[in-house]
């Protein structure tokens, strides 16, 4: 079961955007597995995509289309990743874009495709094309919750976040978004899939910058298993139906960026809370590093250590595993006597050894919690970073061993 509160919020409607879902029977008959986002004319879209060299066909096509035309539709399927499918996969992907374009009177390049599911199987494009009219009939400003469910794969819960933001100028902007992912999570530029929209007008360059900033603090700071998907994509839509936000009003811009960052962190950490087989939600905070990269190197070494992750699954305060991970993170000239290590409020280690004040009972009290913060103070500089991760359980192995059955 997911860790902590993962309930969907009451979604704010985003003017200029409608969402519809349908069942194409891609993997399971009757399951809602197809989603369409309809964007108002004049909308602008920013996107980031996986850096995995074996990127999926929809990633290739979406990148191409995003650079050629103003997007009017997002087309998302679950149950099939259309990755590792070569030229046939590209053709199938383009076929679905052409079919939606024909039904809606737009150019195929105005459709951005996204897929998630099993890698290496050809996309059943005819099934998707046949279900498009049903999804279009369901288009609604209130389609966020159905879409959050329709884009799930091994997710145990749908993921969404929403905010209404009052800007200093008096303008009000609605923000809503959904994400999906539970395994194959260590995003590199984006998440498994994430879609966020706001009813505001922004220049394209500014929208791109807002997305990069928000992703950098959220989706690019989570990891479940260290695997970057072939299909990662995260999109930010500004529908243009609403107030204009620009660099001419830095006060409005700062408030909007802060709200976006908060919403993105929620969507990203929901993925960790729903990590495959997860029983713990773990924040790793590295402080006083010599650089941002150094802080991230330490955080991810701890987050990806199977020994650390299994200790947390066992609720075992085996703090030696944490010290070992920090020590092998590749920090040049690390003075271990300056490192201080905490589990939540409990100081575990300092001056190169167990803290004199530490007791096994204190450590056990923290490890019995579902949500735990590992705090690592390096005393080397002023850089601070945080990463969110999970433990490693029997269920993670089972879920992935049975993924195709």
Active site positions, annotated: 191
Burial class (CB in 10 A: 0-12, 13-18, 19+), 67: exposed
From start to end of 344-395, where are the E strands? 346-350, 353-354, 371-377, 383-390
Contacts of 47 (CB under 8 A, 6+ apart): 62, 63, 66, 112, 190, 211, 233, 234, 235, 236
Sheet holding 193-201, edge to edge: 44-49, 233-244, 193-201, 172-180, 159-166
Distance CA 145, CA 149 (A): 7
Structure tokens, 12: 């704010």
Asked if 73 and 37 touch (Cβ cutoff 8 Å), the reply is: yes
| Residues in the chain, total | 405
Burial class (CB in 10 A: 0-12, 13-18, 19+), 335: exposed
Distance CA 230, CA 121 (A): 13
For 224, left (φ over 0), alpha (ψ -120 to 50), or beta?
alpha
């Amino acid at each position: 079961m997911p860790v902590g509160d993962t309930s969907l919020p009451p979604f704010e409607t985003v003017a200029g955007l409608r969402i519809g879902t349908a069942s194409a029977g891609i993997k399971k008959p009757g399951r809602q597995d197809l989603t369409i986002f309809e964007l108002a004319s004049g909308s602008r879209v920013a996107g980031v995509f996986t850096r995995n060299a074996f990127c999926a066909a929809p990633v290739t096509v979406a990148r191409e289309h995003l650079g050629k035309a103003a997007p009017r539709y997002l087309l998302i399927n679950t149950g099939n990743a259309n990755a590792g499918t070569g030229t046939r996969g590209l053709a199938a992907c383009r076929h679905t874009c052409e079919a939606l374009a024909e039904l809606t009177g737009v150019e195929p390049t105005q459709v951005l495709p996204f897929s998630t599911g099993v890698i290496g199987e050809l996309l059943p494009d005819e099934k998707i094309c046949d279900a498009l009219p049903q999804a279009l009939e369901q288009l609604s400003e209130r389609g966020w919750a159905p879409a959050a469910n329709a884009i799930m794969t091994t997710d145990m819960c749908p993921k969404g976040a929403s905010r209404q933001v009052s800007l200093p100028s008096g303008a009000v902007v609605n923000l809503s978004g959904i994400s999906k992912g539970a395994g194959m999570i260590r995003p590199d530029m984006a998440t498994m899939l994430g879609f966020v929209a706001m009813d505001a007008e922004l220049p394209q360059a500014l929208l791109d910058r807002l997305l990069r900033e928000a992703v950098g603090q959220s989706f690019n700071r989570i990891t479940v298993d260290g695997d970057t998907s072939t299909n990662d994509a995260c999109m930010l839509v500004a529908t243009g139906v609403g107030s204009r936000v620009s660099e001419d009003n830095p006060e409005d811009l700062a408030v909007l960026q802060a709200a976006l960052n908060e919403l993105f962190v929620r969507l990203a950490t929901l993925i960790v809370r729903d990590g495959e087989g997860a029983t713990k939600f773990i924040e790793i905070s590295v402080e006083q590093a010599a650089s941002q990269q150094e802080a991230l190197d330490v955080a991810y070494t701890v987050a990806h250590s199977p020994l650390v992750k299994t200790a947390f699954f066992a609720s075992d305060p085996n703090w030696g595993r944490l010290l070992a991970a920090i020590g092998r993170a590749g920090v040049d000239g690390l003075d271990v006597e300056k490192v201080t290590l905490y589990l939540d409020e409990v100081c575990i280690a300092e001056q190169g050894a167990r803290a004199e004040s530490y007791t096994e009972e204190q450590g056990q009290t923290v490890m019995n919690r579902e949500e735990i913060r590992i705090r690592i103070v390096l005393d080397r500089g002023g850089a601070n970073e945080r990463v969110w991760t999970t433990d490693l359980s029997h269920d993670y192995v089972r879920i992935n061993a049975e993924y195709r059955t």
